[in-house]
């Protein structure tokens, strides 16, 4: 990557991760759990949400993370439903960011650097939206699955959730191997299909 691209990536990471994690914290607070608020996470200060190691890993292995927002199920009126809402709020914040920036990029005449920065934020917002909706713990989509699990299978579900990082690492390894061996990546296909649809919906092309 060039120095210019690194600057644009850092800007987009700061914006996208901050909005994603702050949305989790704000919605958790609205639904009755103040854990994140007491930890200072209901904030648009990037320093409260960026994880130094997670940011570094973006450059090393093209995969990273922000600081997870903690919440206590016991403080929620409807634990499974509210947990799903809290989890969905982060990806939806990224989707809303992409939609707003897509419209701006389509209709506004912007200075060169601003247009580039908006395009990178737009693109990363879609990536984070789609990646976090995968039903693999600890990603946000795994908590949406909880809404569909019958009570008789809840013990299996919570065991699945507790083993989350293992499944995510396996998914990434298998996806990378299939990409190297067969030139096929499930995530790349998934990302390309949905991002193309969103861009078409907005009327924005790269």
Query: Among all residues, which ones are annotated catalytic?
Result: 21
Burial of 107: CB neighbours in 10 Å, binned 0-12, 13-18, 19+: exposed
Alpha-carbon distances, residue 84 vs 16, 43, 150, 163, 165 (angstroms): 20, 21, 15, 18, 19
User: Distance between CA atoms of 10 and 102, rounded to whole angstroms?
Assistant: 19
Burial of 53: CB neighbours in 10 Å, binned 0-12, 13-18, 19+: exposed
Alpha-carbon distances, residue 70 vs 26, 75, 123, 174 (angstroms): 12, 12, 27, 29
- Please state at what angle helix 112-132 crosses helix 186-202, rounded to 10 degrees: 130
Cis geometry, peptide bond prior to residue 138 (ω within 30 degrees of 0): yes
């Amino acid at each position: 990557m060039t120095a210019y691209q690194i600057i644009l990536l850092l800007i987009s990471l700061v914006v996208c991760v901050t909005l994603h994690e702050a949305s989790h914290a704000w919605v958790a607070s609205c639904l009755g759990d103040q854990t994140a608020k007491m930890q200072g996470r209901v904030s648009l200060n990037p320093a409260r949400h960026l994880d130094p190691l997670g940011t570094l890993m973006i450059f090393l292995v093209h995969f990273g993370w922000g600081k997870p927002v903690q919440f206590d199920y016991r403080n929620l009126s409807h634990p499974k439903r509210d947990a799903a809402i809290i989890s969905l709020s982060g990806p939806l914040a990224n989707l809303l960011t992409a939609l707003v920036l897509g419209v701006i990029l389509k209709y506004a005449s912007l200075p060169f650097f601003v247009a580039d920065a908006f395009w990178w934020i737009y693109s990363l917002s879609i990536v984070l939206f789609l990646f976090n909706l995968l039903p693999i713990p600890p990603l946000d989509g795994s908590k949406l699955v909880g809404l569909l699990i019958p009570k008789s299978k809840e013990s299996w579900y919570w065991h699945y959730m507790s083993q989350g990082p293992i499944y995510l690492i396996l998914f990434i390894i298998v996806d990378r191997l299939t990409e190297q061996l067969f030139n096929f990546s499930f995530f790349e296909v998934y990302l390309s299909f949905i991002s193309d649809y969103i861009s078409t919906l907005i009327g924005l092309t790269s």
